[in-house]
Chain A
Amino acid sequence: MKKLTALLLTIAMVVSLSACGQTDSASASASASAQEASGETKTVKAGFICLHDENSTYDLNFINAAKEACEAMGVEYLIKTNIPEGQECYDAACELADQGCNFIFADSFGHEDFMIQAAKEFPEVQFAHATGTKAHTAGLNNFHNAFAAIYEGRYLAGIVAGMKLNEMIDNGTITADQAKMGYVGAFPYAEVVSGYTSYFLGARSVCPSATMSVVFTMSWYDETAEKESAKKLISDGCVLISQHADSMGAPTACEQAGVPNVSYNGSTASVAPNTFLVSSKINWVPYFTYAMGCVASGSAIDTDWTGTIATDSVQLTELGSAAAEGTEEAVNAAKEQFAAGTLHVFDTATFTVNGETVSSYMANVDDDPNFEGDHEAIVDGYFNESGAGFRSAPFFDLQIDGISTEN
């Protein structure tokens, strides 16, 4: 017994010592320089890091886009799923780099710091990260952030909600004063605030008497809390619910109560066939195509890339059966105005803060730990969310009139 354990310990030590002997970073950099010397276009090998697997709608959206973009471009790719927002992300990124990937992408907000760590270690590899905020201040030329002007998609989804409210008012189901919507948010974080405000402004653009009540669950994924929050909002008199959290909690509660629901990240018609109105989502194919194209041609990837309706990065799903008549037309009209540049979601003429029009606002773009503003965000009469020269991740965090927040 003792002999056996001693023997196995020795083996363990030998294994660990022999592991010290090798270094594979040298071979990785050698192959990279060989590629550079070979010609103009580099062969792209892509690696994708996902927080969960296909069972999460959030990650499924990325996985499908990654496969579609890579297959269209003939790019070899690896997908690592179920990578937590910790050191595992750094390890996964390094392993992908070891395996010869020269474009590595991570999909979750909490992956960012670990991607930066890996980017410092592999300067020849391009790292990209969705929803992150630090690329423009990290000072690395191989680390990039990307997002989409999803607030425009939310605005369009808000129009769908507003049309539904109008239908309810016209039917006499509710009075104009009762046009109160409920919103289940994750955290009082800028991305969420920007999302629900743009959604609300969209709804109010067609239903002027609309108001909204927001509840935070303080978690990105908590099915029970999301369901309970939706139920609470419904019992408080909300006649239409939307959410920014990743579970099916809120759509399920709406289906049970027969309350219309506007979703996010993809259709939830499967769990709420009678109450699903529409969902806005980000299509990541255009970004992957763009970024991998840059890697192939050797040109620089934008530090912050913001997809729009024009790049087909911002999409609406098919309308649900519960949507009001004339919704399609109203949405298309707004889309055309976005394309023409005549409509801005955060037009300062359409909202007030504490009863006053906002003419100047210092937004916290550089991720200040004390949430102090550093950039003037009001440009040409509108809040320039995710605009050029700022960052791709949303930073609109004003508490506008008409929206009440709880807890």
Chain B
Amino acid sequence: MNQNKKEPLFRITKRTDIPPHKSWIIRGVAIVIALLVCAIITTLLTKANPIEVYSSIITGAFGTTRKTWITLQNLSILLLISLALTPAFRMRFWNIGGEGQILMGGLATAACMKFLPGVVPNGLLILIMLLAGIIAGGIWGLIPGVLKAKWNTNETLSTLMMNYIATQIVAAFILYWSGKQSSGKIGVINPDDNLGWLPKIGGIAQLLPVIIAIIITIVSYIYYNYTKQGYEIAVVGESDRTAKYVGMNVKKVIIRTMFISGALCGLVGFLLVGGVNHTVTTTIAGGQGFTAVMVSWLAKFNPFAMIFSSFLIIFMGQGAGEIATAMGLDSSISDILTGIILFFVIACEFFISYKVTFKNNKKEEA
């Protein structure tokens, strides 16, 4: 603007029209740089051959059929949680209560597994478990939704706090169910007759979450892009005044969307209790309710892109255990590597959104 003033060393301008292929190149370059940095740090810290570390990460995730299935199952669960949080995020409603919504869904599922066998046939039992999980998770999401819609409370705080309430409710039920002389664990539910255990499709226990994740991914994509409700979410997210102006019932949209978000988390609770663990503990969600926030953000709330961001995290996580077992390293090394990769991936988003122009020679940073 001011011609007389000295030009700064570099200038940052917002990009408005970066073509998709270019943004993917930037991301790819970021991952390559991240892997190089990881290799250097691994060698410096552990004296281990980085190629060996990378190959054991791959072995850890895909080394055997069983490992591949476990990786796919964990991927599906994290993807489902991310998909569950996304409708709220698209509405600019910061639902960080995934953890609690999963726990409540899991608790309701466990209660059905514990008390309904013998009352209803197994097929009906599983259906009731599914409904109970979805409704319990949905209600846990609905509460902060209603608070926001009616009294405009801060949803970040309310969803976060409801995680702790859910953890304590689950802890209380576990103590109550396991009896006062117990060691604080309820153990596997129905270990002998496997009542209420989700079916192994084709003999593979891990297949069901994978199928459900694929279905929900596709349905989510359609919901956001081709339905009236998906459009309403987008409009409310952009500006609730615009939404009001065009005659949308913003409160209704908020409450409905939070129910969907919580219900999908409840579905994950159902899968974790009925299909994966067959028991409920306070740590069943294992922090994935928070990890999923990052997964969803990294993917810019795009259901298909979430497959990659959740894959990255699960892949490194599976590799962690393998590194610890095979190379005798502490499993923290994988956390360090994941951290480095995420740092680069998140940082590269800056270069996708903004353009850096240097003083003399106009150079683009990738």
* Interface residues of A, Cβ cutoff 8 Å to B: 1, 4-5, 8-9, 12, 15-16, 19-20, 22-24, 53-54, 78-82, 84-87, 91-92, 94-95, 98, 109-110, 112-114, 116-117, 186-191, 218-220, 369-371, 397
List of A residues within 8 angstroms of B20 by Cβ = 1
The contact sample of 15 A-B pairs, CB cut-off 8 A, is A53-B324, A53-B330, A54-B330, A81-B325, A84-B283, A92-B321, A95-B64, A95-B66, A95-B67, A98-B66, A113-B188, A189-B184, A190-B181, A219-B184, A397-B181
- Given known pairs A80-B321, A187-B184, the reply for A86 and B279 (CB within 8 Å) is yes
B308 interfacial contact with A, CB 8 Å: yes
Task: Check A82–B191 contact: CB distance below 8 A.
Answer: no
- Given known pairs A1-B20, A8-B307, the reply for A85 and B185 (CB within 8 Å) is yes
Task: Check A19–B72 contact: CB distance below 8 A.
Answer: yes
**Complex alpha-carbon distance, A112 and B279, angstroms:** 13
Task: Check A113–B181 contact: CB distance below 8 A.
Answer: no
- Given known pairs A5-B304, A84-B283, the reply for A189 and B183 (CB within 8 Å) is yes
**Complex alpha-carbon distance, A164 and B325, angstroms:** 44
6 nearest CB pairs, A to B: A113-B188, A5-B304, A189-B183, A19-B68, A1-B20, A86-B277
Task: Check B183–A114 contact: CB distance below 8 A.
Answer: no
Residue of A nearest to B24 (CB): A4
Residue of B nearest to A116 (CB): B191
Task: Check A117–B188 contact: CB distance below 8 A.
Answer: yes
Task: Check B281–A85 contact: CB distance below 8 A.
Answer: yes
Neighbour of B281 across the interface among A1, A82, A86, A219, CB < 8 A: A86
Neighbour of B175 across the interface among A84, A87, A91, A218, CB < 8 A: A218
Apart from A1-B20, A187-B184, what 16 extra A-B contacts exist at CB < 8 Å? Answer: A4-B24, A16-B72, A24-B65, A79-B325, A81-B331, A82-B321, A86-B277, A98-B66, A110-B185, A116-B191, A186-B183, A186-B184, A189-B182, A218-B175, A218-B184, A397-B181
**Complex alpha-carbon distance, A108 and B204, angstroms:** 27
B180 interfacial contact with A, CB 8 Å: yes
- Given known pairs A95-B64, A114-B188, the reply for A187 and B331 (CB within 8 Å) is no
Residue of B nearest to A99 (CB): B64
Task: Check B184–A86 contact: CB distance below 8 A.
Answer: no
Residue of B nearest to A109 (CB): B183
Task: Check A87–B276 contact: CB distance below 8 A.
Answer: yes
List of A residues within 8 angstroms of B204 by Cβ = 20
- Given known pairs A9-B304, A24-B66, A78-B325, the reply for A187 and B179 (CB within 8 Å) is no
B90 interfacial contact with A, CB 8 Å: no
**Complex alpha-carbon distance, A185 and B307, angstroms:** 45
B54 interfacial contact with A, CB 8 Å: no
Interface mask (B286-307 → A, CB under 8 Å = 1, otherwise 0)? 1000000000000000001101
Interface mask (B30-70 → A, CB under 8 Å = 1, otherwise 0)? 00000000000000000000000000000000001111111
Minimum CB–CB distance from B268 to chain A (whole Å) comes to 14
**Complex alpha-carbon distance, A50 and B312, angstroms:** 26
List of B residues within 8 angstroms of A117 by Cβ = 188, 191
Minimum CB–CB distance from B117 to chain A (whole Å) comes to 14
Minimum CB–CB distance from A235 to chain B (whole Å) comes to 26
Task: Check B179–A371 contact: CB distance below 8 A.
Answer: yes
**Complex alpha-carbon distance, A201 and B304, angstroms:** 64
Minimum CB–CB distance from B338 to chain A (whole Å) comes to 15
List of A residues within 8 angstroms of B321 by Cβ = 80, 82, 92
List of B residues within 8 angstroms of A54 by Cβ = 330
List of A residues within 8 angstroms of B188 by Cβ = 113-114, 116-117
Minimum CB–CB distance from A128 to chain B (whole Å) comes to 18
Task: Check B325–A371 contact: CB distance below 8 A.
Answer: no
B187 interfacial contact with A, CB 8 Å: yes
**Complex alpha-carbon distance, A79 and B322, angstroms:** 10
| Residue with the highest number of chain B CB atoms closer than 10 Å, among A23, A92, A113, A218 | A113
Residue of B nearest to A95 (CB): B66
Interface mask (B183-220 → A, CB under 8 Å = 1, otherwise 0)? 11101100100000000001010000010000000000
Task: Check B179–A16 contact: CB distance below 8 A.
Answer: no
B131 interfacial contact with A, CB 8 Å: no
List of A residues within 8 angstroms of B277 by Cβ = 86-87
Task: Check A81–B64 contact: CB distance below 8 A.
Answer: no
Neighbour of B179 across the interface among A87, A191, A219, A369, CB < 8 A: A369
Residue of A nearest to B187 (CB): A113
**Complex alpha-carbon distance, A109 and B210, angstroms:** 30
Residue of A nearest to B218 (CB): A9
**Complex alpha-carbon distance, A230 and B182, angstroms:** 22
**Complex alpha-carbon distance, A187 and B174, angstroms:** 13
Task: Check A24–B325 contact: CB distance below 8 A.
Answer: no
Q: Among residues 50 to 104 in chain B, which have CB atoms less than 8 Å away from a CB atom of chain A?
A: 64-70, 72
| Residue with the highest number of chain A CB atoms closer than 10 Å, among B180, B183, B188 | B183
Minimum CB–CB distance from A45 to chain B (whole Å) comes to 13
B284 interfacial contact with A, CB 8 Å: yes
Minimum CB–CB distance from B190 to chain A (whole Å) comes to 11
Residue of A nearest to B283 (CB): A84
Task: Check A8–B308 contact: CB distance below 8 A.
Answer: yes
Task: Check B304–A191 contact: CB distance below 8 A.
Answer: no
Minimum CB–CB distance from B60 to chain A (whole Å) comes to 10
**Complex alpha-carbon distance, A82 and B324, angstroms:** 9
List of A residues within 8 angstroms of B179 by Cβ = 369-371
